[in-house]
Structures are given as structure tokens and as C-alpha cells.
Amino acid sequence: MRNAKIVIAGGSGFIGESLIKYFGNENKLIILSRNADNSQNNRNRFSLLSEPELKNVIYCHWDGKTLGDWYKQLEDTDILINLSGKSVNCRYTEKNKKDILNSRVDSTKILGEAIAKTKNPPKLWINASSATIYRHSTDKPQDEFTGEIENDFSVQVCKAWENTFYNQATPFTRKIALRMAITLGAGGIMIPYFNLLKFGLGGKQGNGKQMYSWVHIEDSCRMIEWFYEHHELEGTFNCASPYPVHNKEFMKTLRTISHTTFGLPAMKWMLQIGALLIGTETELVLKSRWVVPTRILETGFQFKYPLLSDALAEVFNNTPKNLYRIF
């Protein structure tokens, strides 16, 4: 894809930076951020972007909830991607729960209002969602057609997020909700995993039988390009490799590709104490996410990294070792 105008709301995080790496060389990118000062020393310490990679990137201030002049950036946009949202990697206190929900719903709503104000609205709007919208599943895979949706906190967030997205009237903008599985790349979730390996804690988590749906970040980027090129596609898509694995297999593959011979398992009670200590929730590792990408496969899309071992090897080889730190 070349010479496209791509606006990424919440594009300063892990997935946004990966999209900049993938699209930034040959396209014009505008990042909507609550902190538009993207100087090197102000960037997230896990940032993998070098100054040359930012040559076609402009950062523009917004607050993720109110309309401002930033809406003009959406004029003549080829793809608008919304990734905004408070990280779910925190304790689910009432305050955090409210922030997790509102940051997703508010940013989606205000982007809909901004599109309505443009003369030449974006051609395509891709809004992040999550594969965690499907129920805890140990019996069968969940897809876009027959997947079952329950009602715990994170599912409620995803439902409200997608409902807000589809409720925005954007008659001239094609819309896709991308239910992303755990995304593997040089950053994001892989940093805590590499730290666990370093401390000999790279064994199975809980009973290890929970399913782990994942996708390599390059396939997420390739999928977005595919959506742009295939004008007939719209609606909800799972963004997950066709071959999810059990947690036990995920951890074993991680040990193999990193040449780690030993990994202590973490029992559920240990995870509960650990999660409390580092301020997160055990749901993030214990929920059985068994999600498959039926719709995208039906369109003829081929994954570059369908297999976990190839995906993890690529990520391990390309993650700067200085990113792992002692918590």
C-alpha cells in the first residue's frame, strides 16, 4: 500500500507503533494522542521507533472524548484506525473499570461525531475490539458466526465498545470491528513473558489447559491492508491465528525458542498473589480464549505466521534484549 493517508487514534502504544513501522515508510500517518509531544525522551520507554521511521508521521493532540480542531485531520483519510483505550493490565477497581470502559466508548463516539463533520469522510474506519468478547471456552472454538458471548466485565466492555461503533451513522465510511487476540510482537505482552522466563517462571499458568488465542502483529497489519484493498469487506472480524494453542503449549514453545531449559509452573493461587502484587488480574492469563478467524479465512487471506513457533521465534529474535527489566 502506498501514498495512503492513515489516521491512528491511540497510535502511540504497542499496536500503533507497530502500524507506524509497517505503513510509515510509504504512507502518510497522523497519530491522535493525548500527548502529542512525541520527542524521543517523551516517548514510552518501550518505543521501538527510530527518528527516520517517523519521517511521514505527524502527532496531533486530542483528548479522546471531545471534539476539537483535530477532526480536520480526518478529511480525505483512506483509513481511520482507533486503538484508544486505557490498558486492561491493571486491577479491576471501580475507578479502573470505569476508565477502561469510558476510554473506549468515548473515543469511538467522538470519532463518529468527527467523521460526521468532515466534507470528505474516511473511506474505511477500523475500530479495535477484543477476542475476549467470547466466553471462557474449553469445549469448542468461537468464531464470528457461532461464537457465544457472556457477560463478565471485559465482555461488557467489548459489547459497549462495538455497539457504540456500529451506532455511529457514517454512510460514506466502510466500518470494520477488529476483535483482536493477544498480539505478539517486539513489545506489548511479550516483555512480561520474557521477564518470567528470565526468572525461571516460564512454566504453565494455572492448569495450563486454558486456550490461548494469539496473532502475530505483522499479520494484524497485513489484515488491515487487506481490508483496505477489499472494498466489499465490512463488519466484524476476528484477528487471530487459525491455530490457537493451550497455555501449556504456549509456555513450552516460548521456552524452546528462547533456549530456556527450565520453567516453574505457576499455580492458580500463586497467580492470584502475584497479580495482586503487580497490580493486574488473573483473568488475563486464566481465561480460556479459543477464538478462530473464520471470516478472514473465507476471504482468501493467508497468514504469514499461522504457527506459534514461527511467530514466537520471529518476535524473540527481533526484541531488543534491553527491553526486559526487573519489575
Ligand X SMILES: NC(=O)c1ccc[n+]([C@@H]2O[C@H](COP(=O)([O-])OP(=O)(O)OC[C@H]3O[C@@H](n4cnc5c(N)ncnc54)[C@H](OP(=O)(O)O)[C@@H]3O)[C@@H](O)[C@H]2O)c1
Chain positions contacting ligand X, by CB under 6 A = 10, 12-16, 33-35, 64, 83-87, 99, 103, 107, 128, 130, 180, 182-183, 188-189
Q: Pick the closer one to ligand X by CB: 37 or 150.
A: 37
Bridge partners, residue 128, by sequence: 178
SS (H, E, C) 213-262: CEEEHHHHHHHHHHHHHCCCCCEEEEECCCCCEEHHHHHHHHHHHCCCCC
Cell of 77: 483519510
Residue number with CB closer to ligand X (40 or 172) = 40
CA distances from 150 to 17, 155, 158, 238, 264 (A): 32, 7, 11, 17, 32
d(CA 228, CA 122): 11
Question: What's the closest the beta carbon of residue 261 comes to ligand X, in angstroms?
Answer: 28
Residue 318 CA, distance from chain mean position: 19
Of 128 and 311, the one with the shorter C-beta distance to ligand X is 128
CB 107, min distance to ligand X, A: 5
- Which of 117, 27, 31, 130 lies closest to 72, judged by CA? 117
Between 243 and 267, CB nearer to ligand X? 243
- Closest-approach residue to ligand X (CB): 13
Residue 119 Cβ, how far from ligand X at the closest point, in Å?
Answer: 26
Nearer to ligand X, 200 or 235 (CB): 235
Rounded Cα distance between 198 and 191, Å, is 11
For residue 293, give every residue at least 6 positions away whose Cβ sits within 8 Å of its Cβ, in sequence order, or none: 143, 237, 238, 239, 240, 241, 242
In the complex, minimum distance from the CB of residue 70 to ligand X, in angstroms, rounded to a whole number: 12
Q: Which CA distances in Å does 227 have to 14, 222, 234, 258?
A: 21, 9, 8, 34
Q: Minimum distance between the CB of residue 244 and ligand X, rounded to whole angstroms?
A: 14
Q: How far is the CB of 7 from ligand X (least distance, A)?
A: 13
CA 310 vs CA 143, 189, 257: distances in Å: 24, 17, 9
- Residue closer to ligand X (CB basis): 12 or 247: 12
CB of residue 319 to ligand X, shortest distance in Å:
15
Compare residues 44 and 270 and give the one whose CB is closer to ligand X: 44
